[in-house]
Amino acid sequence: MKSGISKKRKGESAGRRRGPRGEMRTRIYHYVQQRLLAGDPPSVREIRDHVGLRATQTVQRHLDGLIVDGRLERDTSGRSRALRLPQPQPQPSLVPLLGRVQAGVLTTAIEDPEGFVPVSGVRVGDGLFALWIRGLSMEGAGILPGDVVIVRKQSDANDGDIVVALVDDEATVKRLRRRDGRVELHPENPDFDVIVPDSLTLLGKVVEVRRFLEGAPGGV
């Protein structure tokens, strides 16, 4: 045993409950939840060691109970570290929050973000990034300077979608309009002009807008 638990004679503590009924299960639940929220799923032995039990089978039975209660889920493919948070407690994913994005360096910016924002797991982490809003061009849509938009990477979008496109080699957020077979990028502020790009380089579609009235997102 690696955990410093004192050597006991065979069977010495078998069956011993240390606290009120249900306490161990609650302790296990909180430890697993914390580990899963941290993005670091625990093995059964790690759980065992953390809560001070000696047998993995005891942990398993508690986990079985938590799964029956719907508080945890298990990936049944036979892989290791298979616990999951269930709906409606989605496993959060972290989306890279980028600084300035210019033509050609999106991949680099994603690999070296200035921070991260957590999103619900239903959005599946691949293909998302987050950007700061810096201007007033989308004010009418309730998107203000200092907001963060979460963007799903895609190279096409529908009429009416709010998108991130490259204009003059700089990323900009606008509403996409299709007029007579042509693409237009519309601001949501009469003080800004409609942009008609010669060719559209679309980085993605805005799927979420966030405003932080106090503090900044994690890691910034």
Partner DNA sequence: AACTATAGCAGACAGATGTCTTCAAACAAG
Partner DNA sequence: CTTGTTTGAAGACATCTGTCTGCTATAGTT
- Enumerate binding residues for a copy of itself (CB under 8 A): 29, 33-41, 43, 71, 79-81, 87-96, 111, 113-126, 139, 142-144, 147, 152, 162, 205-215, 217-220
- Residue 3 interacts with DNA (CB under 7 A): yes or no: no
Shortest separation between residue 31's beta carbon and DNA, angstroms? 13
Q: How far apart are CA 8 and CA 73, in angstroms?
A: 33
Q: Pick one of 34, 39, 55, 219: the residue that binds DNA (CB under 7 A).
A: 55
- Residue number with CB closer to DNA (68 or 213): 68
Shortest Å distance, C-beta 195 to a copy of itself: 20
- Tell me the two tokens of residue 187: 């601001």
Of positions 79, 126, 168, 213, contacts DNA by CB under 7 A? 79
Catalytic positions, written as ranges: 137, 174
Which CB, 8 or 211, lies closer to DNA? 8
Residue 88 DSSP SS3? coil
Closest listed residue to residue 128, CA positions, set 151, 108, 159, 98: 151
Instruction: Please state whether beta strands 148-153 and 170-179 pair in parallel, antiparallel, or not at all (unpaired).
Output: unpaired
Tokens encoding 53: 């039990």
CB of 172 to a copy of itself, least distance (A): 17
Only segment of 44-52, 137-145, 164-172, 203-211 that touches DNA (CB under 7 A): 44-52
Quick check: 65 binds DNA (CB under 7 A)? yes
The bridge status of strand 182-186 relative to strand 73-74 is: unpaired
**DSSP for 98-142, written as a single string:** ES--BTT-HHHHHHS-SEEEEE-GGG-STTEEEEE--SSTTGGGT
Distance between CA atoms of 9 and 2, rounded to whole angstroms? 17
Cα–Cα distance between 77 and 90 in angstroms, integer?
Answer: 20
Which of a copy of itself, DNA, none has residue 133 at its interface (CB below 5 to 8 Å by kind)? none
Count residues binding DNA (CB under 7 A). Answer: 36
Site residues, DNA (CB under 7 A) = 8-18, 21-22, 24-25, 43-46, 53-58, 60-62, 65, 74, 76, 78-82
